[in-house]
Amino acid sequence: MSPLNRLQQVLGVTFHNAELLEQALVHGSFLNENPGFPLPSNERLEFLGDAVLSLVVGETLYQRFPELPEGSLTRMRSGLVCQETLHKVATELGVGEYLRLGQGEDMSGGRSKPSNLAAALEAVVGAIYLDQGLEAARDFTLRLLGDEVEAQSPDAPVDYKSQLQEFLHSQKRPAPTYRVVETSGPDHARTFTTEVLEGDTVHGHGSGHSKKSAEMAAARAALEKLQRGRGVGC
């Protein structure tokens, strides 16, 4: 059995145009070393798959939590379609085994890199959408992420620092840093004000009675600002 046929069995999807699935597995580094390869990289399919994932997960959360406001739904969606979750699912599927990588990328552990695996899974969703339409892409997405969606709870605490770091990492941007800019109040009831930076750019401020809570508040403000600017949840 060919690798593509084996992967289709793993995915539970039989493609009409198997070249779309093959393209979803092509990393840019492979084309750098194989310029005559007839297919482009998976970057455009990744872009499309990201949009499909956001739509499907967003619609599912909208229906499952009819009382939740937009902000809460956005935060849930960002945790479901971000790199950490997609990397986990892609690893469980063994997607790394099927990637076309340049030799350097392969030797540096590219088959297990979270960014490569998450991007490939998004590209696979984009390929399914082009090959069979939205319903097939929705069915596939919910088969993969259904348990994660079911585990969502509006009362669960949100780790905004992790989500902010994941958001920036997904765009190949530097990790955020935090610094205390003000401390006020008596020793037994200190209030810390913290700002979160990307390089020299301040993205948000937050206050709390501990440095940790202040950082979490700053990360939340930054994440909401950056997500509004991008127009999507992750």
Catalytic residue status for 200: no
- CA 228 remoteness from chain centre: 16
Residue whose C-alpha is closest to residue 89's, from 131, 132, 43, 57 = 57
Element holding 201 (H helix, E strand): strand 201-208
| Catalytic site residue from 22, 46, 105, 122 | 122
| Catalytic site residue from 22, 46, 50, 105 | 50
- CA 103 remoteness from chain centre: 26
Catalytic residue status for 131: no
Give the start-end residues of each E strand in 40-190.
Answer: 177-184
Asked whether 179 and 194 are in contact (CB, 8 A), the reply is: yes
Asked whether 217 and 229 are in contact (CB, 8 A), the reply is: no
Give me the active site residues, please.
50, 122
